């Protein structure tokens, strides 16, 4: 339980993860299914061989790559398999704990599964099913390990940054060489990813870099390079939601530059000047990217998939016509359509209602509030650290333009925010304890003299 990830252990774990992730990426690049199954098997072995806390930390490296880890035609991702197996591992080892609210969530999940099966003659959506498994799994972990997980918040951020850096690298390779798309004329796509989705991941990773920069837990040169890398990724996706999600990072960066030491300010200034130089040397490419992004912002109220306002109005009209569709979600044959295809809601709340109904939103809200209460209670702190809100603020802004299909990743951004919020008092307590020890040692030496 008290196992601490050292720098060497962290490097070894990321190296272990990189091998199966590369195998899965090569499956998409070559089409050889054996590579996917080999990568999936390695991932399962790695996670089951780790302790509960280390496995939870490493899980954050997989989240940005979730759709890459979903084999073509498969109903779920390797990430889903890993989470369910980790959940079962807790249960088998008799470390599984539940409070009353989480128990009621399980009862609700079983009831809602049966209700959906009766009303729509189809099984409950797997993404919603995994949502409840996620909530119960994370709640149980915090009830078992208490403050230990909160103290590992900064370690977890580095795993998420690592996974997001791989997402951007794989996306560039796949878009340019496999899809053979000219980024001057089109957007950056990931492996089966929505550009808006990967843009939000890049924005969150940038925010986590800022938090590590402020805590002096990451080399400032590496931190600034990673932030530039992710910012370029957001611009290449030409995502309006991604741009909105990235905006809090600019304000946070400006604020932190007033608080950090002179060395970091100098490094940031040098990196900024380098960015200006590179931009000036590639004016055609930069102008093309910004022109495309501006065009997408201008047509936000246009008809069809490129717009958003008309889609939102269509879904609001749909829900207003029938209280049953608002509470249980609409039937598949009444979804707003464009041509022969269904248009997704492109909004977290509207999409969640479409996916499983407004009743589900109420219980999702209760689950989030209860999870926040559990983390606060077990962390045993006496204050908050507001910069921890950055991941969930970024994700909330980006998901204003995204559908609820990625709500599982939303859970982990929420949990990570809570862990960082309660991080500062814990670290401050450790610093105070260390200073007291030093003062005691000095007074002892003076007394002996």
CB–CB of 406/197 below 8 Å? yes
Give the mean pLDDT of 253-279: 67
Contacts of residue 92, Cβ cutoff 8 Å, sequence gap at least 6:
none
* 439 in a structural domain: no
* 400 in a structural domain: yes
Model confidence pLDDT, tens digit, residues 72-106: 877 778 998 999 899 999 989 888 887 787 777 77
Greater confidence (186 vs 292) lies with 186
CA distance 134 to 412: 9
* DSSP code of residue 125: P
pLDDT, residue 157, reads 93
pLDDT, residue 40, reads 95
Give the H or E element holding residue 341.
strand 341-342
Highest mean pLDDT among 28-32, 114-118, 309-313: 28-32
Contacts of residue 366, Cβ cutoff 8 Å, sequence gap at least 6:
101, 105
Give the H or E element holding residue 338.
strand 337-338
Name the band, by pLDDT with cuts 50, 70 and 90, for residue 27.
Answer: very high
CB–CB of 319/326 below 8 Å? yes
Q: How many domains does the chain have?
A: 1
Average predicted confidence (pLDDT) for the chain: 77
* 449 in a structural domain: no
- In this structure, what token pair is assigned to residue 144? 């078992």
Q: Domain span at residue 289?
A: 7-433
CA distance 271 to 257: 13
* 442 in a structural domain: no
Model confidence pLDDT, tens digit, residues 343-368: 777 888 888 787 777 877 787 888 88
CB–CB of 134/83 below 8 Å? yes
CA distances from 152 to 282, 335, 401 (A): 41, 43, 31
**Could you give the residue ranges of the DSSP H alpha helices within 94-152?**
100-120, 126-145, 147-150
* 440 in a structural domain: no
pTM for the full predicted model: 0.81
* 419 in a structural domain: yes
Instruction: Give me the helix-helix angle, 7-30 and 33-49, nearest 10°.
Output: 160
- Which of 206-210, 227-231, 407-411 is predicted with the least confidence, judged by mean pLDDT? 407-411
The b/e string for 392-412 (b: 16+ C-beta within 10 A; e otherwise) is bbbbbbbbbbbbbbbbbbbbb
* 380 in a structural domain: yes
Three-state SS at 192: coil
CA distance 421 to 414: 11
* DSSP code of residue 177: I
* 257 in a structural domain: yes
State yes or no: pLDDT of 441 exceeds 50: no
Q: Among 345, 411, 350, 337, which residue's Cα sits nearest to residue 196?
A: 345
CB–CB of 137/90 below 8 Å? yes
CB–CB of 166/18 below 8 Å? yes
């Amino acid at each position: 339980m008290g196992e601490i990830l050292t720098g060497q252990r962290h490097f070894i774990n990321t190296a272990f993860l990189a091998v199966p992730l590369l195998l899965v990426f090569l499956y998409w690049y070559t089409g050889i299914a054996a590579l996917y199954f080999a990568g999936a098997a390695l991932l399962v072995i790695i996670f089951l061989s780790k302790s509960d806390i280390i496995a939870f930390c490493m899980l954050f490296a997989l989240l940005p790559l979730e759709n890459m880890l979903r084999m073509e035609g498969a109903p779920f991702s390797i990430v889903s398999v890993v989470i369910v197996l980790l959940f079962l591992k807790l249960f088998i080892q008799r470390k599984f704990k539940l409070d009353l609210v989480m128990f009621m969530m399980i009862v609700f999940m079983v009831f809602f599964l049966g209700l959906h099966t009766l009303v729509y003659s189809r099984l409950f959506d797997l993404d919603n099913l995994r949502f409840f498994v996620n909530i119960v799994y994370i709640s149980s972990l915090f009830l078992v390990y208490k403050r230990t997980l909160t103290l590992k918040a900064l370690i977890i951020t580095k795993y998420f940054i690592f996974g997001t850096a791989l997402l951007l690298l794989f996306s560039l390779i796949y878009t340019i060489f496999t899809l053979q798309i000219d980024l001057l004329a089109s957007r950056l796509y990931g492996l089966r990813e929505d550009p808006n989705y990967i843009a939000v991941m890049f924005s969150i990773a940038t925010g986590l870099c800022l938090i590590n920069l402020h805590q002096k837990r990451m080399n400032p040169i590496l931190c600034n390079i990673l932030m530039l890398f992710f910012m370029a990724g957001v611009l290449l996706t030409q995502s309006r939601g991604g741009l909105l999600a990235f905006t809090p990072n600019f304000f946070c960066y400006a604020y932190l530059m007033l608080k950090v030491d002179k060395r970091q300010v100098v490094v940031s200034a040098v990196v900024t000047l380098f960015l200006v130089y590179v931009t000036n040397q590639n004016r055609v490419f930069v102008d093309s990217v910004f022109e495309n992004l501006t065009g997408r912002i201008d047509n936000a109220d246009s008809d069809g998939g490129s717009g958003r306002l008309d889609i939102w109005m269509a879904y609001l009209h749909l829900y207003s016509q029938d209280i049953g569709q608002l509470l249980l979600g609409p039937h598949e044959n009444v979804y707003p359509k464009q041509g022969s295809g269904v248009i997704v809601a492109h909004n977290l709340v509207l999409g969640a209602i479409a996916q499983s109904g407004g009743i589900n939103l109420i219980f999702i809200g209760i689950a989030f509030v209860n999870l926040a209460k559990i983390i606060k209670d077990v962390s045993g702190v006496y204050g908050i650290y507001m910069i921890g809100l950055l991941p969930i603020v970024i994700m909330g802004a980006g998901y204003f333009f995204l559908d609820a299909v990625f709500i599982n990743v939303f859970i982990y951004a929420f949990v990570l925010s809570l862990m960082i919020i309660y991080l500062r008092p814990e670290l401050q307590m450790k610093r105070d304890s260390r200073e007291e020890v030093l003062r005691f040692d000095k007074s002892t030496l003076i007394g002996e003299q």
